[in-house]
Structure 1
Amino acid sequence: MTSLTDSPVRPFARAAERFPTVLWNDSADPAELRRSIELGAVGATCNPVIALTAIRNDPAYWTPRLQALAVEHPTWGESELGWEAVKELSVEAAKLLKPAFDESGGRDGRLSIQTDPRLHRDAEALVAQAVQFSKLAENIIVKIPATDTGIHAMEEAAFQGVSINATLSFTVPQAVAVGAALEHALERRREAGRPDQEFGHVVTIMGGRLDDWLKTWTAKNRILTAPGTLDWAGVAALKKAYAIFRERGFRSRILSAAFRNHLQWSELVGGDLVVSPPFDWQHRIDANGIPARDRIAEPVPTAVLDELHSLSEFRRAYDVDGLRAGEFADFGAARNTLRQFLDADAQLDALVRDVIVPPA
């Protein structure tokens, strides 16, 4: 396999030199993040699945650390101990990104930590946890789900001074609703005389998960599409959301996540936005020398978009009014992803249980 140093093109470095498109790493694992920073990463994200993987992959550190935490906090249960580990992981990753945070004036250099998915129905609890997490480090940005409940929580948390990253977000209607809510929070702060600051708000669209859902939906409905068509669905949503944000003057940035193909980076280069692929995807894009060309304004091929738009489920995700706010949580990709996040929480509890109460 080609090593990182063998690539003559270095696409991410080339993109950073020429365009405002920036790279964040889709993991808070410190060892992986250091390698991503070498490729040009200026931010990172974490969620329950990512945190569980990072803790699982380093038992030499986390087993004794969890045992020590259990001794320090003798009344804490598995969930409290597990989330303390997630917070510690996030703080260590945030330290690695502090130079980029300082250099960008707070626009980049941020570490995303996700609110507990078990709070997804409780706006007040989401706001309280977001405020708590925002105090872990100066460059923390907090993920809140882009459901109707979560968007209300985002606005209030942003008003209170929390930097926001919308997650559980797959569609143009969700992104636009979040962008508008964050604008409202900024206006509320101005009207209340609260200090102006660089929040670095980002609005994620998990493009690859939209692709995944449409593949599941078309299979369930026995619909055949031209090979490769569904691989453009997330890209189409990202391009459209980006254009709307520019038209409406939203101050938050679109973030491309949940990579399934290089189009979810290469088709967005040139835009003032964030791309957040897992490190393996960064390595593959870099090693293959995928060109860093200004393609953000280039439309999705007409034949592809026409076929996508023939699918009612794609129209729900792509049209600005395709989903009402009350439907965000019930969209197929949202339900599947929330279940995955909740399952990761349960697995983290089980991992901690095996450490603090090992079998006899």
Structure 2
Amino acid sequence: MNEKHILERLVDVSPGMEIWWDSSPLILSAWCQQMLEKAAPGDRDVLQRQLSRMYRSGAPGEWLFRGVTTNPRLSLQAIDADRETWAGIVDGLIEKNQGVDKEGLFWLMYKEVIKRGSDMFLPLFEASGYKQGFLSGQVDPRDVFDSDAMMRQAEELAALNPNVMIKIPGSKEGYSVIEALTARGISTNNTLTFVLPQLMDCANSVKRGLETARKNGVDLSRWRSVITHMESRYGDLGGLRNFAAEKGIELTDGEVRLAELAIFKKAYRLLNEGGYNSKMLSCSLRVGPTVDGKLKLWHLEEKAGADIVVTCPPPFIDELSTFPGDDDLVFEKDRIWKEIPGEVMDKLMRIPYFERAYEEDGYTRDEYNTHPALIKTADQFSAATVEMVEFAGSCIEKAQR
């Protein structure tokens, strides 16, 4: 096992890159312990050192994890991981909020998970001069098309801690919310974003919001904006292969990954050239493809040198920790600026699903809400939220017995 983790080596060649933890910080200790328990005995000492550099109490300036992304599903996982502790917390919430229904209790529980998780990253937030250590708390995915509901929820979540950044979806309604929150100096993370028009719409919405904030003398010292690109959700969940097949085109796994990367790279270039105040965030990453019998990490390799955020869920980090090509993996500095091969782009541009995703004006704002990747992701996230609501309901029933 290499002394330095793959993610550490990627950061070494990428000035400004930040690695974020894509789960609740409340499960970090248990996850580290599980990683050590399943590691080969000969790797445990090295792995222990790697994990201690990712996050540990004290010395926040040395943490590999520079921020956090969460959502209701990940918050429920944090509760599931420590049911005994949370049983007492939930009982207390029910006691303090007599007559609360399951929707109300869900929201109280969700806010409690966000508050406790963001507390863990406050030391980094303060040590970095309020530039890092943010935790992204998502508004209710069931309200992806309701701007008023998203604004109300965003205000509540932002009040929990100064380092809580609000995740707002890339729906038509979401961009008006992002502009309004930015105008008030509230940090945002644009999620459910898959195509270039969404990414640039966010950048421009933030730009307008900042102009309003500055005009009104709003304090922006603790403000930040990131724009998420949900890469494999565009290619896999959104159905790129199926849309290609409709045109008689067969795509390899590698070509699907390159399609996702092409959108990301173009957005990164445009944000840099335009001097925008938002930072790209890469998520929904996958290991692969396999090329000439060797497993690759294109979702990471092709971003070497980028000044971006890369958020990683526990299962993805698990895969990286046992990556078979670890010893031979070398990140090429400034790879982010290398264009996708022309023959691949020519093939992809024959697929309307990709062509529209790659062009700045490929979708109007009104069309975001019908994009298949957005609809399917919103449905998945909403179903997970309902699961947390039902869990809250079971807690109320138990308390009433």
* TM-score, length-scaled by structure 1: 0.91
Q: Contact (CA 8 Å) 1:12, 1:292: kept in 2 or not?
A: no
Deviation at 1:223, TM superposition (A): 4.5
Q: Distance in 1 between matches of 2:245 and 2:342?
A: 26
Tell me the residue number matched to 2:317: 282
With 146-155 and 66-75 compared, the bigger mean Cα shift is at: 66-75
Q: Does 1:14 align with 2:18?
A: no
Q: Contact (CA 8 Å) 1:214, 1:314: kept in 2 or not?
A: no
With 345-354 and 36-45 compared, the bigger mean Cα shift is at: 36-45
Q: Name the Cα RMSD after superposition.
A: 2.2
Tell me the residue number matched to 2:213: 189
Q: Contact (CA 8 Å) 1:9, 1:286: kept in 2 or not?
A: no
Q: Does 1:268 align with 2:294?
A: no
Match of 1:174 among 198, 207, 212: 198
Show the 5 A alignment for 1:189-268. Answer: 189-212=213-236, 213-215=238-240, 217-218=242-243, 221=246, 223-261=249-287, 262-268=297-303
Q: Distance in 1 between matches of 2:130 and 2:195?
A: 27
Unpaired segments of 5 or more residues in structure 2?
33-50, 57-62, 288-296
With 289-298 and 333-342 compared, the bigger mean Cα shift is at: 289-298
In percent, how many aligned pairs have the same letter?
A: 27
Q: Distance in 2 between matches of 1:90 and 1:292?
A: 34
Q: Distance in 2 between matches of 1:220 and 1:310?
A: 11
Show the 5 A alignment for 1:255-334. Answer: 255-261=281-287, 262-288=297-323, 289=326, 290-294=329-333, 295-334=335-374
Tell me the residue number matched to 2:136: 112
Q: Does 1:335 align with 2:375?
A: yes
Q: Contact (CA 8 Å) 1:49, 1:340: kept in 2 or not?
A: no
The residue type paired with residue 285 of structure 1 is L
Q: Distance in 2 between matches of 1:211 and 1:162?
A: 31
* TM-score, length-scaled by structure 2: 0.83
Any idea what the Cα deviations from partners look like across 1:144-192, whole Å, max 9, x if unmatched?
1111111001100111121000011111110100000101111111112
With 173-182 and 89-98 compared, the bigger mean Cα shift is at: 89-98
Q: Contact (CA 8 Å) 1:12, 1:286: kept in 2 or not?
A: no
Q: Contact (CA 8 Å) 2:265, 2:337: kept in 1 or not?
A: yes
Tell me the residue number matched to 1:37: 55
The residue type paired with residue 135 of structure 1 is A
Q: Which secondary structure does the structure 2 equivalent of 1:63 belong to?
A: helix
The residue type paired with residue 305 of structure 2 is G
The residue type paired with residue 266 of structure 1 is E
Match of 2:23 among 15, 23, 27: 27
With 255-264 and 145-154 compared, the bigger mean Cα shift is at: 255-264
The residue type paired with residue 7 of structure 2 is F
Number of aligned residue pairs: 355
Q: Contact (CA 8 Å) 2:19, 2:67: kept in 1 or not?
A: yes
Q: Distance in 2 between matches of 1:247 and 1:340?
A: 35
Deviation at 1:25, TM superposition (A): 0.9
Q: Contact (CA 8 Å) 1:158, 1:182: kept in 2 or not?
A: yes
Give the direction of change, closer, same or farther, for the CA distance of 1:93–1:245 in structure 2 (3 Å limit): same
Tell me the residue number matched to 1:3: none
Deviation at 1:286, TM superposition (A): 4.3
The residue type paired with residue 77 of structure 1 is D
Q: Distance in 2 between matches of 1:245 and 1:116?
A: 28
With 261-270 and 129-138 compared, the bigger mean Cα shift is at: 261-270
Q: Which secondary structure does the structure 1 equivalent of 2:98 belong to?
A: coil
Q: Which secondary structure does the structure 1 equivalent of 2:55 belong to?
A: helix
Q: Contact (CA 8 Å) 2:179, 2:209: kept in 1 or not?
A: yes
Tell me the residue number matched to 2:384: 344
Deviation at 1:340, TM superposition (A): 0.9
Deviation at 1:353, TM superposition (A): 1.8
Deviation at 1:227, TM superposition (A): 4.3
Q: Which secondary structure does the structure 1 equivalent of 2:135 belong to?
A: strand
Deviation at 1:265, TM superposition (A): 2.4
Any idea what the Cα deviations from partners look like across 1:305-334, whole Å, max 9, x if unmatched?
222222110112111111111111110000
Q: Which secondary structure does the structure 2 equivalent of 1:205 belong to?
A: strand
With 280-289 and 217-226 compared, the bigger mean Cα shift is at: 217-226
Q: Distance in 2 between matches of 1:55 and 1:192?
A: 41
Q: Does 1:54 align with 2:78?
A: yes
Q: Contact (CA 8 Å) 2:170, 2:198: kept in 1 or not?
A: yes
Q: Distance in 1 between matches of 2:345 and 2:74?
A: 32
Unpaired segments of 5 or more residues in structure 1?
1-5
Q: Contact (CA 8 Å) 1:118, 1:342: kept in 2 or not?
A: yes
With 92-101 and 243-252 compared, the bigger mean Cα shift is at: 92-101
With 22-31 and 251-260 compared, the bigger mean Cα shift is at: 22-31
With 296-305 and 159-168 compared, the bigger mean Cα shift is at: 296-305
Q: Distance in 1 between matches of 2:108 and 2:260?
A: 34
Q: Distance in 1 between matches of 2:230 and 2:312?
A: 10
